[in-house]
Amino acid sequence: MIRYLTAGESHGAALIGIVEGMPAGVPLTTEDIDDHLARRWLGFGRGGRARIEQDRVELLSGVRFGKTIGSPIALRLENAAHHKDRSDWPNVMAIGGSGEGIEPVTLPRPGHADLAGAQKYGFDDIRPVIERASARETAMRVACCSVARAMLRHLGIEVGSHVVRIGIVGWEDTGAWQEQVGLLVSEGGARAVYEAADESNVRMLDNDLTDAAVEHIKETKAAGDSLGGSYEVVATGVPVGLGSYVHWDRRLDGRLAQAILSIQGQKAVEIGDGFSGGSTPGSQFHDPITEDEQGHHLTRGSNRAGGIEGGVSNGMPIIVRGVMKPIPTLVKPLETVDISTGEAQPTRYERSDVTSVPAASTVAEATVAWVLAAALLERYGGDTFEQVEQRLALDAAT
Ligand SMILES: Cc1cc2nc3c(=O)[nH]c(=O)nc-3n(C[C@H](O)[C@H](O)[C@H](O)COP(=O)(O)O)c2cc1C
């Protein structure tokens, strides 16, 4: 079993991660992690934090001479904002002291964990909720998941994503982008999908849509508002048999949905063409089973199931789509109530993104990679990476 834990607050000194259960011998460098951390900062419409942080991971344990050693892998990411903000802003996350001179946050922002979190933990200052509920945590998540992703890559499994919609700008329907994604996948697997998307500053696979989305973000920003959107994650090279139908918590589709919804602000998940499945007759929805061109393996004539049937991967590309709600921190004030006085008040603006859909798509890639790596190690796992490789190769040969 692999698992990871993250710790750290948005304006704390650092984020910490521990990845446990990776087999020994997986090649791993800091670049494997930093490359994906840099991709998380991509996207027109990000706020000031993107200009402050330059995430570089420190690997503190579990890796020797560029390979995992089977021990827990400890990771650290410094928060540049912790130091940058100090000159004109007190250290809101000081570990000691009385907090004297630090103004409490008492205006909960609708759409954030602020009010429910403060009520749950009994805080009269919302700051601790803001700090841990913040999506800054996703930086460490991407770092931890990139460890698993490095292993997948060495096994020929790639995960990529692209943005489908930002606000009202997006592809008209699934069919419109599927041909392009199919071409990219045939050229270079899911890696080609994310590399092509990274060329666009909103991670969209179409230049006209990119331009329109950038305009839409500019107009929205000028109006003091914010945007959500949607994205698609594709995984290629995934073997048949990851996940299981035998018990609810082993289903791969359920585990992927949980992973996406665990990301801050994600509100809906679709596996394959799941949403249109509700209005399509069965004869036009279910993917026909056919022989591959060599006549060696059974495959599917289409992939509306998104590579998963009965909670088990079926060898087709895995397709997972996610929907992100609009960013809840707006220049335009929303209605709230001051929890210290009970008075109705407008919300106050703090530094924020106008939209984070491009960033969220890269976080979604990372979490999908983690789920696939976990399911893969359940099926082929061993103490060493060599054992994993051998078991996978043996299975592929049969
Ligand atoms: C990568 C990323 C960046 C985000 N940046 C911001 C931001 O700058 N400002 C903000 O208010 N919310 C931001 N969010 C969204 C909030 O974290 C999210 O809406 C909030 O946690 C509440 O969502 P929930 O109800 O799903 O937990 C971001 C989310 C992600 C995934």
Answer whether 41's CB lies under 8 Å from 52's CB.
no
Residue-wise pLDDT for 34-59, tens only, equals 999 999 988 887 776 666 668 899 99
Over residues 69-79, the mean pLDDT reads 96
- Average pLDDT on 244-271 reads 98
Residue 120 neighbours by CB distance under 10 Å: 10
HSE toward the beta carbon, residue 332, CA cutoff 13 A = 11
Please say if the pLDDT value at position 253 is more than 90: yes
b (16+ CB within 10 A) / e for 351-384: ebbbbbbbbbbbbbbbbbbbbbbbbbbebbbeee
DSSP string, 103-122: PPP--PPTTSSHHHHHHHHT
8-state DSSP, 22:
P
Q: Is residue 301 part of a domain?
A: no
Q: How far is the CA of 135 from the centre of ligand 1 (A)?
A: 5
Ligand 1 pocket test: pick from 352, 356, 363 the residue with the most ligand atoms within 8 Å of its Cβ.
356
Burial class from Cβ neighbours inside 10 Å (0-12, 13-18, 19+) for residue 199 reads exposed
Q: Is residue 282 part of a domain?
A: no
Please indicate, yes or no, if residue 283 is contained in any of the structural domains: no
Instruction: Supply 194's token pair.
Output: 């994310």
Query: What integer pLDDT is reported at residue 83 of this predicted model?
Result: 57
Q: Is 115 exposed, middle or buried (0-12, 13-18, 19+ CB in 10 A)?
A: middle
The yes-or-no verdict on residue 67 having pLDDT over 70 is yes
pLDDT for 49 equals 63
Q: How many angstroms separate the CA atoms of 121 and 367, rounded?
A: 28
Residue 86: is its pLDDT beyond 60?
A: no
Query: How many whole angstroms from 180 Cα to the centroid of ligand 1?
Result: 30
Distance CA 14, CA 7 (A): 9
∠ Cα 269 274 277 (to 5°): 150
Q: How far is the CA of 327 from the centre of ligand 1 (A)?
A: 6
Residue with structure tokens 């991709």?
Answer: 39
In a domain, 281, yes or no: no
Q: Which two tokens stand for residue 126?
A: 């919302």
What is the three-class DSSP state of 178? Answer: helix
| C-beta 152 within 6 A of ligand 1 | no
- Residue 84 pLDDT > 60: no
The pLDDT of residue 95 is 85
pLDDT at site 295: 80
Q: Using one digit for the tens of pLDDT, what is the confidence trace for 295-354?
A: 888 999 999 999 999 999 999 999 999 999 999 998 999 999 999 999 999 998 877 889
Question: Ligand 1 pocket test: which of 263, 264, 266 has the largest number of ligand atoms within 8 Å of its C-beta?
Answer: 264
Residue 305 Cα to ligand 1 middle (Å): 29
Q: Distance, CA 352 to ligand 1 centroid (Å)? A: 9
The answer, yes or no, to whether residue 194 has pLDDT greater than 80, is yes
Residue (of 300, 359, 28) closest to 161 by Cα position: 359
pLDDT at residue 85, rounded to an integer: 52
Residue 293 counted as domain residue: no
Asked if the model's pLDDT at residue 81 lies above 80, the reply is: no
Residue 175 lies in a domain: yes
261 has pLDDT over 90? yes
Provide the pLDDT for residue 30: 97
pTM of the model: 0.95
Query: How much is the pLDDT for 82?
Result: 63
Domain that holds residue 126: 3-272+307-397
Atom index in ligand 1 nearest the CA of residue 266 equals 26
Residues 233/161, Cβ–Cβ less than 8 Å: yes
Strand partners, 73: 19
The predicted pLDDT at position 107 comes to 96
- The stretch 142-151 carries a mean pLDDT of 98
Please say whether the beta carbons of 14 and 136 come within 8 A. no
- Does residue 140 register a pLDDT over 90? yes
Mean of the pLDDT values across residues 183-193? Answer: 96
Q: In terms of pLDDT, which residue wins out, 252 or 95?
A: 252
Question: Measured over all CA atoms, what is the biggest interatomic distance in the chain, rounded to whole angstroms?
Answer: 74
The H-or-E segment that residue 63 falls in is: strand 63-64
Cβ of 356 below 6 Å from ligand 1:
yes
* Rounded alpha-carbon distances, angstroms, from residue 94 to 88, 90, 127, 236: 15, 9, 12, 45
Tokens 């008075």 locate to 343
- For the ranges 58-67, 171-180, 227-236, the lowest mean pLDDT is seen at 171-180
Do the domain assignments include residue 286? Answer: no
We report the CATH number of the domain holding residue 118 as: 3.60.150.10
Q: What is the Cα–Cα distance from 29 to 90, expressed in whole angstroms?
A: 36
Total domains in the fold of the chain: 1
CB 180 within 8 A of CB 199: no
Gap between the Cα atoms of 365 and 236, Å rounded? 12
